[in-house]
Chains A and B, each alone.
Chain A
Amino acid sequence: MKTRILLIERSPIIASGFANLLQSGTTFEVVAVADSLDRIAERIIVAKPDVIVVNPSLIDNSKRQSFRVIFQEQPSTPIVALVSAYFDGQWLKNFNGIIEINDDIGKIENTLNHVLQTTSGHTESAELYELSDREREVLIELSKGQTSKEIAEKLHISVHTVITHRKNIVRKTGIKSAAGLAVYAMLNNLIEP
């Protein structure tokens, strides 16, 4: 089976060029293309990528230092920068790999293979353990004993997304039961006494 790539790139020329190049080989396949980071959590859930390739210019300045939070639906998935303009090299080091616009197919495949080999397992980064705003909202509802379906309706998201949030909450806090989450929420001042 081919390695699944989610490509996030605004330029259609670059996006289709990248997908076509990879198609000529046998190891990689671009399974989804997004032109921005809007609703990226849901795109990740549907595409289930093995690697995320993103144009760094799509990441807001304010989120640069903690950009992995954007992709936390699959926190251990490697994130590769697809660079077509100048970026601060220091910042680019935060990505698992860098593909430059002038790289040929051989070099791109090498980069992707290297990234997959070196990131199997979990990416170590403190922010992976912090709850996102959405996860906090879901946690509060769970602690009130709400079901996934009820939470999905209240927050206008799919049940599938709620379940993914739940899994992340359990992974990050280690707490599984609603009663346990209620204690967590209380101790962290997420709910009023």
Chain B
Amino acid sequence: MLFTKKMKLADLVISNHSLVLILERFNIELGFGEKTVADVCQQYGINADFFLLICNVHSDDQYLPTTEELSQTDMSQLIPYLTASHGYYLRERIPHIENHLNRIADACLPAHRDTLLKFFKEYREEVEKHFQYEEVTVFPYISKLHQGEKASGYSIHRFEKNHSNIEDKLGDLTNIILKYLPGNIMPNERRSLLFDIFQLSTDLNTHSLIEEKILIPYVQTLEENL
């Protein structure tokens, strides 16, 4: 069942706990009492249709808005939303995972520790590069389109073709921690780390889905209408 504006915001979060993360990407503070989605959105100046679209994509695997729905929704908050997500991944989630991993690596043989840390460093750099490209090249291009300006020499088609995969290495890390690191090394720390990785990986998958199935079609329409 999809969420609607008349529902209480708290009920959305209780039915899908990962929406806690979505709230802060819209700068919504906790403590909203019994307010409905419509009330809270109005209070923060957020377009409620867009807010629901994001909550629904994060909560229902089967849900994707149609091109028609997209064209009728105010998408001006999409780029700020994606940028806020990047900030959370880079400044909070990845350092948090790295802390767990550092403690685990310290309990390993020196050679194993070094390869493990090298692996994670490469992963972090890959993610940073991926986000940086979007924030420096793609998002400014889209913001300009939004203001009715078409920058020459770039189109969303290029982004579509080059949108790199940052999920592989996270899957590799899951396999390493789960299957290949000797069982006696830091079991509790590893358990926490696994939950953190699973959570980040679900979040990132939806993030990519939003970029590929919502951002790209939306920008294509903008390009065509200019």
Distance to closest chain B CB from A181 (angstroms): 8
Given contacts A174-B175, A176-B171, A177-B172, contact A184 B123 (CB under 8 A): no
Q: Which of B17-25, B70-78, B114-122, B202-210 contacts its partner?
A: B114-122
Question: Does B172 contact A176, Cβ atoms closer than 8 Å?
Answer: yes
A14 within 8 Å of B (CB atoms): no
- 8 Å CB contact of B111 from A175, A188, A193: A193
- 8 Å CB contact of B115 from A173, A174, A183: A183
Distance to closest chain B CB from A128 (angstroms): 16
Residue of B nearest to A173 (CB): B175
Which residue, B110, B175, B181, has most C-beta atoms of chain A within 10 A? B175
- 8 Å CB contact of A187 from B112, B118, B172, B174: B112
Question: Does B180 contact A187, Cβ atoms closer than 8 Å?
Answer: yes
B179 within 8 Å of A (CB atoms): yes
- 8 Å CB contact of B180 from A176, A184, A193: A184
Which residue, B110, B123, B176, B181, has most C-beta atoms of chain A within 10 A? B176
A173 to B174, CA, bound (A): 11
Given contacts A187-B180, A187-B181, contact A182 B115 (CB under 8 A): yes
A180 within 8 Å of B (CB atoms): yes
A186 to B115, CA, bound (A): 8
Chain B residues lying within 8 Å of A193, measured Cβ to Cβ, are 109-112
Distance to closest chain A CB from B109 (angstroms): 8
Residue of B nearest to A182 (CB): B115
Given contacts A174-B171, A187-B181, contact A180 B111 (CB under 8 A): no
Could you give, for residues 15-52 of chain B, a 1 whenever the CB lies within 8 Å of some chain A CB and a 0 otherwise? 00000000000000000000000000000000000000
Chain A residues lying within 8 Å of B172, measured Cβ to Cβ, are 174-177, 179-180, 183
Question: Does B118 contact A179, Cβ atoms closer than 8 Å?
Answer: yes
Question: Does B179 contact A174, Cβ atoms closer than 8 Å?
Answer: yes
Chain A residues lying within 8 Å of B8, measured Cβ to Cβ, are none
- 8 Å CB contact of A183 from B109, B116, B168: B116
B173 within 8 Å of A (CB atoms): yes
Tell me the count of chain A residues lying within 8 A, CB to CB, of chain B: 14
A103 to B181, CA, bound (A): 52
A176 to B115, CA, bound (A): 16
Question: Does A179 contact B180, Cβ atoms closer than 8 Å?
Answer: no
A186 to B179, CA, bound (A): 14
B190 within 8 Å of A (CB atoms): no
- 8 Å CB contact of A175 from B118, B123, B176, B182: B176
B146 within 8 Å of A (CB atoms): no
Question: Does A187 contact B176, Cβ atoms closer than 8 Å?
Answer: yes
B169 within 8 Å of A (CB atoms): yes
Residue of A nearest to B181 (CB): A187
Residue of B nearest to A193 (CB): B111
Residue of A nearest to B111 (CB): A193
Chain B residues lying within 8 Å of A176, measured Cβ to Cβ, are 168-169, 171-172
Chain B residues lying within 8 Å of A182, measured Cβ to Cβ, are 115, 118-119
Given contacts A186-B112, A193-B111, contact A179 B175 (CB under 8 A): no
Question: Does A179 contact B112, Cβ atoms closer than 8 Å?
Answer: no
A183 to B112, CA, bound (A): 7
Which residues, 3 to 17 on B, are CB-close (under 8 Å) to A?
none
Which residues, 54 to 81 on B, are CB-close (under 8 Å) to A?
none
Distance to closest chain A CB from B182 (angstroms): 8
Residue of B nearest to A192 (CB): B111
- 8 Å CB contact of B122 from A173, A174, A179: A179
B residues with a Cβ closer than 8 A to A are 109-112, 115-116, 118-119, 122-123, 168-169, 171-176, 179-182
A175-B175, A180-B175 given; name 15 further pairs at CB < 8 Å.
A174-B175, A175-B176, A176-B168, A176-B172, A177-B168, A177-B172, A179-B119, A179-B123, A180-B169, A180-B172, A183-B116, A184-B180, A188-B180, A193-B109, A193-B110
Instruction: Give the 4 A-B CB pairs with smallest separation, nearest first.
Output: A180-B172, A193-B111, A174-B175, A176-B168
